[in-house]
Amino acid sequence: MNTHTEAHRIPCTAAPLWGLSLLRTMRADYLGYVTRLQNQHPDIAQVQVLNEHITHVFHPDWVRQVLVDQADALIRWERATEVFSISMGQSVLVTEGAQWQRQRRMLQPGFTPKRVAGYASLMASAAHDALNSLMQRVGDQSVDMDALMTDMTLDVILRALFGSHQVRDALPVSQAIQTLSHSGFSELFKPFSWPLWMPLPSVRKVRHAKQTLDRVIQQHIQAQQSTASDDGHDLLTMLRLARDPENPEQRLSAQELHDQTMVMFQAGHETTATAMTWWSGLIARHPEVAERIHAEVDAVLQGQTPTPATLQQMPWLQASLKEALRLYPPAAILFTRRALKDLQVGPWTVPQGQLIAFTPYVIQRDPRWFELPDEFKPERFLPGAPDIPRGVWMPFGTGPRVCIGQHFALLEMGLIAAMLMQRFRLEWPEGEPWPESDLAVTLRPAQAIRLKLHQRAVITLPQIG
Ligand code: HEM
């Protein structure tokens, strides 16, 4: 293998003024900037911003070579860790090394496909409640899909975390999550963050948001502790009882329990809501796909509530969700990593100490792997379609730090999608342009997606208790 020498350097884009202007470009339109970089250098590119060298890896084999094979030699970019620890404490999303390994080992059993399937009826009840109240409300007026999906996924995560919840929790919790998410993203581009006690308006907003979530979590932890019951099937009970398989006396400390609950709120709610909002818009714009899904949902479910098993019998539904996650991955960029030692990336060496960036949004729109990459074509993911190269579809990341909630999210998305399609036909308002995307922490539509939801006539729906 070649190594990093003057004659054989990673393709490098020179930026004037030590990359200061680049920093402005990146802040204004990060995804546009990375897309242009990848057009110039399809597999790998290096840029320098101030005193940092950042290597962008685009080739899926090399993405895996770094994130899977050399995961032990990476940590997350310290500034991101610092920013996210403000709201997520020392949780599994933030920690590194032995502490992260221990937390991940303890949490993992709660997120296996089998365990997650146990949440299906609870997820379906949340969707059932939201969609049935919508059926009573909508005539032919349009519905803000982001608001609908945000309410529904928040209800799901609250029920999954706590077994049940007070309806009054929902709105302040949702607003608090959004505040933390937006401030988190803008903090990334600043050299430091003010401590939460500072009497500045922007800091006060973040402090209040965090206090809101802290309060809700604490109330639920105390309520569970006071009933002294370990019988619950919710995530909080799972977290309270979690033991380290390598050290079975060890449980999560009180602070760790709080922080893990916090991360589930933040990582597990807005991401799924955003994915479902994009999906609903894409379905409304593609009636030919919607028709296939309606046919599938009607034939397989026959008016019954979907389950993990019946979802597997709906290839168009599944493929449409995967395709939406390809075009609009909610986590459009992964956490940038720092190399703890020299890393091999294809024929190149990234020296110890440098940064490495991965952008699923760009990798998933590379025309080498996806014909007409900007078009919505769920058939790419149907059984029997040509193989998609390994590692190219990566909305949940890859390697040991892959999203712990991926099975949870896919099940939740499948159930919500199937139940929505059982009840409604989605119509894109005539003349309305397709929205731009806006990268905060998640990739959201910059303009609201509002759809006309027409009730479908010929279904009998089951009652869920
Ligand atoms: C469509 C929905 C979701 C998407 C697209 C998504 C995406 C991701 C991605 C890309 C990562 C890895 C980031 C990286 O490598 O830098 C991640 C990590 C994580 N996700 Fe998700 N996620 C989703 C839903 C969820 C849900 C429902 C939960 C929990 C209930 C969750 C909890 C987490 C946690 C705790 C981590 C950190 C894992 C670790 O570092 O060990 N996510 N997610």
pLDDT digits (tens, 9 = 90+) for 41-58: 999 999 988 788 999 999
**Residues contacting 47, CB < 8 A, separation 6+:** 12, 13, 15, 19, 22, 37, 53, 54, 56
Of 81, 115, 104, give the one whose Cα is nearest residue 188: 81
The predicted structure's pLDDT at residue 18: 61
Backbone angles phi, psi at 364, to 5 degrees: -80, -5
Q: Which domain holds residue 260?
A: 12-455
Alpha carbons 23 and 51: distance in angstroms, whole number: 12
Encoded tokens for 135: 């059926």
For ligand 1, atom 3, the nearest C-alpha belongs to 271
Contact between residue 359 and residue 332 where contact means Cβ atoms under 8 Å apart:
yes
Confidence of residue 8 (pLDDT cuts 50, 70, 90): low
**63-77, 167-181, 296-310: which range is least confident on average?**
167-181
Angle between helices 120-137 and 145-162 (to 10 degrees): 150
Confidence of residue 338 (pLDDT cuts 50, 70, 90): very high
**Residues contacting 6, CB < 8 A, separation 6+:** none
Q: Is residue 309 part of a domain?
A: yes
Residue 465 Cα, ligand 1 centroid: separation in angstroms?
A: 31
pTM confidence score: 0.92
Is the pLDDT at 178 greater than 70? The verdict is yes
Is the pLDDT at 385 greater than 80? The verdict is yes
- Atom index in ligand 1 nearest the CA of residue 396 equals 10
The predicted structure's pLDDT at residue 166: 62
360-379-123-145 Cα dihedral, nearest 10 degrees: 70
Of 278, 309, 332, give the one whose Cα is nearest residue 32: 332
Give the DSSP letter of residue 373: T
Q: Is 409 in the pocket of ligand 1 (CB under 6 A)?
A: yes
Q: Is residue 221 part of a domain?
A: yes
Q: Is residue 431 part of a domain?
A: yes
Residue 128 Cα, ligand 1 centroid: separation in angstroms?
A: 25
Q: Is 408 in the pocket of ligand 1 (CB under 6 A)?
A: yes
**145-159, 225-239, 313-327, 333-347: which range is least confident on average?**
225-239
Q: Is residue 5 part of a domain?
A: no
Q: Is 105 in the pocket of ligand 1 (CB under 6 A)?
A: no
Q: Is 322 in the pocket of ligand 1 (CB under 6 A)?
A: no
**18-32, 233-247, 404-418: which range is least confident on average?**
18-32
Of 158, 150, 153, 160, give the one whose Cα is nearest residue 413: 153
Q: Is residue 460 part of a domain?
A: no
What's the CATH number where 336 sits?
1.10.630.10
Greatest CA separation for the chain: 70
Q: Please count the residues of the chain.
A: 465
Is the pLDDT at 265 greater than 90? The verdict is no
C-alpha angle 330-331-333 in degrees, rounded to nearest 5: 135
Q: Is 150 in the pocket of ligand 1 (CB under 6 A)?
A: no
Confidence of residue 7 (pLDDT cuts 50, 70, 90): very low
Q: Is residue 307 part of a domain?
A: yes
Q: Is residue 394 part of a domain?
A: yes
Compute the mean pLDDT over every residue in the chain, rounded to the nearest whole number: 88
Domain count, the chain: 1
Residue 421 Cα, ligand 1 centroid: separation in angstroms?
A: 26
Q: Is residue 65 part of a domain?
A: yes
Pick from 112, 159, 263, 403 the residue to mutate for probing ligand 1's pocket: most ligand atoms within 8 Å of its CB: 403
Is the pLDDT at 137 greater than 50? The verdict is yes
